[in-house]
């Protein structure tokens, strides 16, 4: 596994497994299986309603806690400093962990700065190893960092070949925040797995279109958290570190950028 360094020196895996929409035994088994296959970053959220199952999957894997990087997120129901403080303890209990590696605000909220103060406090207490945000565009991000004392380590956003977010990445990195991509395979929308450009480039490296799409992001320094419950796909998604795209490959894939979201709910922020 390859790692990236956050702005506080913490190392985070460049590839992890997303757990959105995984439930019950499937979630437990998928998390355990992913860890056995070599995944070290597990991403969940209170909004997903599966923190307990993620925690059980981690326990089932019998891995040393120090090897894992666990991310979760708090959301709009914790829209105050006090509620956010309680939410942090709830996540620790649900996950059965002594600390969380990365805790994010799930979306931009008017109350975000006061919620974030609870994250900053928990970070200083050692309950959280790194803190950040999710789904913040350029305007939200630039306003937000004026009100926080700890610059977010991560901004987790929708990013994939059809929504590449070069400008946002540049702004984030100017301030010391790294981008992480949710839905890096666009949830298969637009037949991405049969995209002719990705198929053509993939043949050069004996890689699948999905692997080319993930490598495109990782090579830019963007961590990715693709979701799958299929063992073959889990193995494929993590096997992207034995080749490197050329400048020509990158420029070709850049032409696929439509610069718009695939998910209408994000437009409400």
* Positions marked active-site: 48
Structure tokens at 229: 């419950």
d(CA 1, CA 112): 33
Task: List, in order, residues 6 or more apart from 145 with CB less than 8 Å away.
Answer: 151, 152, 175, 177
Closest by CA to 141, choosing from 121, 181, 112, 118, is 112
Task: List, in order, residues 6 or more apart from 4 with CB less than 8 Å away.
Answer: 11, 12, 13, 14, 178, 221, 223
Q: How many CB atoms lie within 10 A of CB 24?
A: 9
Task: List, in order, residues 6 or more apart from 27 with CB less than 8 Å away.
Answer: 19, 50, 53, 54, 57
SS3 assignment, position 204 = helix
Q: Is 11 left (phi over 0), alpha (psi -120 to 50) or beta?
A: beta
d(CA 46, CA 124): 22
Q: How many CB atoms lie within 10 A of CB 269?
A: 12
SS3 assignment, position 157 = strand
């Amino acid at each position: 596994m390859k790692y990236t360094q956050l702005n506080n020196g913490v190392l985070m895996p460049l590839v992890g497994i997303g757990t959105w929409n995984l439930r019950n035994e499937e979630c437990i088994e998928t998390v355990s299986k992913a860890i056995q296959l070599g995944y070290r970053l597990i991403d969940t959220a209170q909004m997903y309603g599966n923190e307990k199952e993620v925690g059980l999957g981690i326990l089932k894997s019998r891995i040393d806690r120090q090897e894992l990087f666990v991310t979760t997120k708090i959301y709009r129901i914790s829209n105050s400093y006090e509620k956010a403080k309680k939410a942090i303890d709830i996540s620790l209990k649900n996950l059965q962990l002594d600390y969380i590696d990365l805790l994010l605000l799930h979306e931009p909220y008017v109350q975000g700065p006061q919620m974030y103060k609870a994250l900053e406090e928990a970070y200083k207490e050692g309950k959280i190893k790194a803190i950040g945000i999710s789904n913040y565009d350029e305007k939200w991000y630039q306003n937000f960092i004026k009100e926080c004392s700890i610059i977010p380590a991560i901004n987790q956003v929708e990013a994939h070949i059809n929504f590449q977010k070069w400008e946002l990445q540049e702004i984030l990195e100017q301030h010391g925040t790294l981008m992480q991509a949710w839905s890096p395979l666009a949830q298969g929308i637009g037949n991405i797995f049969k995209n002719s450009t990705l198929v053509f480039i993939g043949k050069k490296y004996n890689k699948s279109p999905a692997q080319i799409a993930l490598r495109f992001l990782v090579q830019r320094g963007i961590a990715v958290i693709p979701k799958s419950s299929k063992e073959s796909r889990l193995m494929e998604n993590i096997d992207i570190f034995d080749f490197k795209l050329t400048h020509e490959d990158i420029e070709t894939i850049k032409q696929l950028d439509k610069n718009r979201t695939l998910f209408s709910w994000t437009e409400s922020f």
